[in-house]
Amino acid sequence: MRILRSGRSGKFKTGVSMLLAAAACVCAASAVADAQRLWMNTELSPDKRATALEKRMTLAEKLRLLHGYPAGLMSDTEAALGSAGYVPGVRRLDIPALQETDASLGVANPDEVREDGRATALPSGLALAATFDPRLAYQSGAMIGREAWRIGFNVLLAGGVNLARDPRGGRNFEYFGEDPLLAGTLAGATVRGIQNQHVIATVKHFALNDQETRRRYADAIIGEAAMRESDLLAFEIAIEQGHPGAVMCAYNLVNGVHACGNRHLLSGILKGDWHYAGFVMSDWGAVHAVTDALAGLDQESAARFDRRIWFGKPLRNALKTGAVPQSRIDDMVHRILRSMFAVGLFDHPPQRGKIDYAANAAVTRRVADAGIVLLKNAHHILPLAAATPRIAVIGGRADLGVISGGGSSQVLPMSPDGQFPSVSIDGGPDGHALSGTLVLDPDAPLNAIREAAPRADVRYDDGRDPASARALARWADVAIVFATQWQKEGADAPNLSLPHDQDALIAAIAAANSRTIVVLETGNPVAMPWLDKIAGLVEAWYSGQRGGSAIADVLFGAVDPSGHLPITFPKSVAQEPRPRIPGRGHAAPRQRIKVDYRVEGARVGYRWFADQHLTPLFPFGFGLSYTSFDYADLQVASGRTLTVSFDVTNTGRRTGAAVPQIYLTSQAGRKLKRLIGFKRVALRPGQTRHITLTADPRLLADFDTAARAWRIPAGKYTIMLGRSATAPVATASARLESRTLPP
Ligand code: BGC
C-alpha cells in the first residue's frame, strides 16, 4: 500500500506503519483524504494527475481557470502579486493561482506596481542570440525563473521567438534574430532554464507577429510551406527542446484569421501536427470571440482587455447551447492543469526568500561579454592600451548607464542605491524617433572605462553640442562615441538611421580624430554612413545590468569579443523585401492592413540576401575577435541526415571563442542558404577541438503542403563551413536518399 499526502513534501511510504500508535489514527484519517487526492501522487504522469483533478472540479471551478485578470495598476483583484496577469486558483482543491509576469529579459514590474520590484536586468534577446550559446540561454532562463519564483510568480511570459523579418521590428530586441535554428534552439534552452525552477514558460507570440506597426490589425499573408520553413520552425524547435507549459497566441492575423482564433495554427499545427500538450493563452487583449475556444485557445489572459470577457459568461452560455462542447472545456482545463503538474506548480510552489543578486548579475555579465560583437577593427586599434593617456567618451548617456528596450519586457534594474536613471525621449515633430521613457541599466560605461584605464585622463561630453564634442575628440588620443537607438514594444523604428542626429555627431568626431571608436547600443541594425571614417566599431546591443563593465572589458581587451550577428545589417531599407513598413503613417484606425510575407516567404534575412545576390553592410553570423581561428578537415557524412565534422584551432595569442557555422548551400541541385548547425567553441591559444554537428533533417527538407509532410529530395547536398553567412572557409558535399518526415 502507498500512502500519499498532499503538500510540498510529496509522498511517503509504508514505513509509516512503524509510527507511534498514537499518531496512527491521525494518519489513517489523512490517508483517506489523500487517497482521494490522487492528483498529488507525484508518481503519476502530469496527464493522469490532471485528469484526476479535473474530474473533481465543478463547472464553476473549471470556468475560473479559463480567464484571467490584469495584474498591473489596473488590477481589480488584491490577490494578484502585481505584474502582467493573474488567474485565480481553486482553494477547495488547493489549485494554486497563476501569478504571471513578463518576461525574457528579467522579472518585469510594469508601472512599478510592486514596491520592491527591482530585478536583475539581462542584456537584450539579440545580445543573447549573438552569443550563439544555448548554455548561456539556459543560464539566463534559470536566473529569471529563480528570481520570479522567489518573488512568488509561477508563470513567466518569457520565450519570445518571433523571427526578425524586418530590421526595424520594434520587438526584435526581445527575440533571437532572423534564423529559425538559432532562435528556436536558444528559446528552447531559455524555456528549460525557466521551467527547471518550477515556473511555467510561455513561448510567444504565435505566430508571425513580426512587426509592431498596427500589430492588432496586421494580417500576415504567407504560404503554408513558407511559414513552416521559417517562423513556425523556430516555434517548433523551441517547443520540442523546451516543452513550455504555455504558448501565447499573437495579436495579429495570419492569412485573414486572428492568431488567437486561428484553428489551423492552434489546433491543426500546434496541437495536431506537433502534438503540443500544454495550453494556449492569449496575448493581452487578443481574443475576439467565444468561438476562439473551438479554434484551440485555452485561456483568455487579462480578459478585461478584450471587448468582452469571452471566456466568462459567453463561454458558459455557449456551453449551455452546445456551441462549445463540455469536452472542449474539459480539455482546456486539462491542458492548464497538466502544465501546472508538469512544471511543478503543485509540488514546488514559489517560496519567497532571499535572491542571490550577485550571482544573477554574474549571469547577465557572462551574456553581455559573450554577446558584444566586434564589427570593425582597422589597424588593430582595439583592444586599447590601458596606458592610453587621453580618452574622450562622447554621447549615449555613457555617464549614466546603458540603455534598455521599452514595453512589457522592461525590467527595472537593481542598483546599489536602489536608483536607476531614466530619460524622457522626444520623438520630434516628424516622428523620426520613438518617444517615451527610456530606462538605463546603471552600470555606466564611463566609470568602467575609468576603471579599465586608471591612469588615463578620461573626459566625457554628452554630445549635445557638436562643437564641444569635436574639441574634446581633438584633444584625445582616442575618441569613443556611444550611439544609441531605443526600441520599444508597440512601435517599429521609423527607418534604419540612428535617431537624434547621431550620424552627424559621429561624422564630426571622426573628422576630428582618426582614432574614433563607435560603440552601438541598438535594438536593431542601423545604417552607418560614417563607417569608413571610423577606426573601430562594437555592437553592444542593450547590454543589461553589467553592460558598462562588459563594454569596457571588450574595449580594453580583458574580454575577447566573440559575439556574432544574429541578424543581417542591411545597407539600406531598399535591400529589404518591404522597404516600407506596411501600415505606417496611413490607414484608418482599426483598418486591417496586409503584411505580404509572400515576397520573401521562408527566405528571411540572410536567406533573402543570398537569393537576391545582395551584399549587406554586415552579414548574419559576422563577428571579429582579437585572436584568430583556423579550420581544417571538413567532412560531411550522410545517412538519415547530414553529419558535419571539422577541426577548429585558435591560432592567435589570446584565449577566445570561435563560432563556426554550417550552411546548406545547395539542396539536390537547388541553390539556397540555410543555417543547419553552429557551435560556440572556447579555445586557448594553440588549442584545437574536433567538432561534430548533426543537421536537423527539417533544415534539409522542404515542406510539402499537399502531402502535409517534410520532404528531403534525393540528390547532392553541399554545405559550407563559414565564419559568417557570406564568409566560407570550406565546402563539402554528400548525397542523400529521398525521405519524408512527419509534419
Ligand atoms: C505583450 C506580451 C506580454 C503581455 C503582458 C502584451 O502586450 O504583447 O508579450 O506578455 O502584454 O504584459
d(CA 665, ligand 1 centre) in Å: 38
What is the average per-residue pLDDT within 629-643?
97
pLDDT digit string, tens, across residues 587-608: 688 899 999 999 999 999 999 9
What ligand 1 atom has the least distance to the C-alpha of 108?
Answer: 12
Q: Which helix (H) or strand (E) holds 476?
A: none
- Taking CA atoms only, the protein residue closest to ligand 1 atom 2 is 283
Q: Could you identify the residue written with the cell 513580426?
A: 210
**187 Cα–ligand 1 center, Å:** 17
- Respond yes or no: is residue 283 known to be catalytic: yes
pLDDT at 409 over 50: yes
User: What is the 368 CA–ligand 1 centroid distance (Å)?
Assistant: 25
Residue nearest to atom 7 of ligand 1 (CA): 284
CA pair distance 357, 545, nearest whole angstrom: 11
Q: Which among 133, 283, 292, 560 is annotated as catalytic?
A: 283
Q: Which of 86, 98, 100, 102 gets mutated to test ligand 1 (max ligand atoms within 8 A of its CB)?
A: 102
pLDDT value at position 26?
A: 41
Ligand 1 midpoint to CA 408 (Å): 6
pLDDT one-digit tens code per residue, 490-530? 999 999 999 999 999 999 999 999 999 999 999 999 999 99
Q: Report the sign of the C-alpha dihedral through residues 351, 356, 362, 365, in that order.
A: positive
3 state DSSP class of 296: coil
- Sheet arrangement for strand 709-712: 702-704, 709-712, 739-741
C-alpha cell at 304: 478585461
Whole-Å CA distances, 397 to 121, 392, 400, 423, 442: 18, 13, 5, 9, 11
pLDDT given for residue 72 in this prediction: 84
Q: How many CA atoms lie within 13 A of 234 on its CB side?
A: 32
Q: Which residue has the cell 487517497?
A: 35
User: Is residue 78 very low, low, confident or very high in pLDDT (cuts 50, 70, 90)?
Assistant: confident
314: preceding bond cis by omega (within 30 degrees): no
Nearest CA to ligand 1 atom 9: 408
Residue 334 host element (H or E)? helix 326-343
Closest ligand 1 atom to residue 83 Cα is 12
Question: Can you tell me whether residue 459 is helix, strand or coil?
Answer: strand
* Cα 186 to Cα 173: distance, rounded to the nearest angstrom: 14
**Distance between CA atoms of residues 656 and 662, nearest Å:** 20
Per-residue cell: 638: 550522410
Helices 547-556 and 357-371 meet at what angle, rounded to 10?
Answer: 40
| Local confidence band at 16 (pLDDT 50, 70, 90 cut-offs) | very low
Answer yes or no: is pLDDT of 6 > 70. no
Q: Is the pTM of this model over 0.75?
A: yes
Is 32 a residue whose pLDDT tops 70? Answer: no
Cell numbers for 740, please give them.
519524408
The pLDDT assigned to 561 comes to: 98
Q: Is the dihedral of CA 443, 657, 530, 470 positive or negative?
A: positive
Strands 688-694 and 642-650 come out as antiparallel
Of ligand 1's listed atoms, the one at least distance from the Cα of 157 is 10
Residue 64: is its pLDDT beyond 60?
yes
Q: State the average pLDDT for the chain.
A: 94
Whether the per-residue pLDDT at 155 is higher than 70: the answer is yes
For residue 408, which atom of ligand 1 is closest to its CA?
Answer: 12
Q: How many CB atoms lie within 10 A of CB 269?
A: 24
Query: What's the mean pLDDT in 425-449?
Result: 89
Distance CA 636, CA 662 (A): 11
For atom 11 of ligand 1, which residue has the closest CA?
Answer: 284
Counting atoms of ligand 1 from 1, which one is nearest the CA of 103? Answer: 10
> For the residues 382-405, what does the mean pLDDT come to?
98
**Cα(129) to centroid(ligand 1), Å:** 21
pLDDT computed for residue 428 by the predictor: 75
pLDDT digits 0-9 by tens, 252-303? 999 999 999 999 999 999 999 999 999 999 999 999 999 999 999 999 999 9
- Is the model's pLDDT at 9 over the cut of 50? no
Q: What is the C-alpha separation between 422 and 321, in angstroms, rounded? A: 53
Q: How far apart are CA 307 and CA 316, in angstroms?
A: 17
Residue 98: pLDDT above 50? yes
Give the pLDDT confidence of 689-723 residue by residue, as tens digits.
999 999 999 999 999 999 999 999 999 999 999 99
pLDDT at 35: 66
- Angle at CA of residue 108, ends 149 and 192, nearest 5°: 50
Q: Are 485 and 523 in contact (CB under 8 A)?
A: yes
In this model, does residue 19 exceed pLDDT 50? no
Ligand 1, CB cutoff 6 Å, lining residues: 84, 102-103, 157, 204, 283-284, 408
The whole-number pLDDT of residue 27 equals 43
User: How many Å lie between the centroid of ligand 1 and the Cα of residue 44?
Assistant: 34
Average pLDDT of span 631-641:
97
Average pLDDT over every residue of 423-441? 86
CA of 208 to the centre of ligand 1 (A): 15
Helices 326-343 and 46-55 sit at what angle, rounded to 10 degrees? 130
Q: Which atom of ligand 1 is nearest the CA belonging to 110?
A: 12
Pocket test for ligand 1, best of 252, 281, 284, 304 (most atoms within 8 A of CB): 284
CA–CA dist 252, 663 (Å, integer): 32
For residue 13, the model assigns a pLDDT of: 28
- pLDDT above 70 covers a percentage of the chain that reads 94
Using CA positions, which residue lies closest to atom 5 of ligand 1?
84
Confidence of residue 11 (pLDDT cuts 50, 70, 90): very low
Which residue's CA is the closest to the ligand 1 atom numbered 4?
284
**What is the sign of the dihedral through the CA atoms of 678, 604, 214 and 405?**
positive
Best substitution site from 86, 408, 410 to test ligand 1's pocket, by max atoms within 8 Å of Cβ?
408
Instruction: Taking residues 179-199, report their average pLDDT.
Output: 98
* Protein residue whose Cα sits closest to atom 3 of ligand 1: 408
Nearest to 368 by CA among 145, 538, 191, 195: 538
Residue 12 has pLDDT above 70, yes or no: no
* Grid cell of 594 as nine digits: 496586409
Distance 207 CA to ligand 1 centre (A): 14
Residues 6+ apart with CB under 8 A from 482: 393, 394, 395, 396, 397, 398, 445, 519, 521
Residue 73: the pLDDT is 78
Q: Tell me what the mean pLDDT of segment 414-441 comes to.
A: 86
What mean pLDDT comes out for the span 463-490? 97
Predicted confidence at residue 36, as pLDDT, reads 82
Separation CA 722–CA 179 (nearest Å): 15
| pLDDT band, very low/low/confident/very high, at 558 (cuts 50, 70, 90) | very high
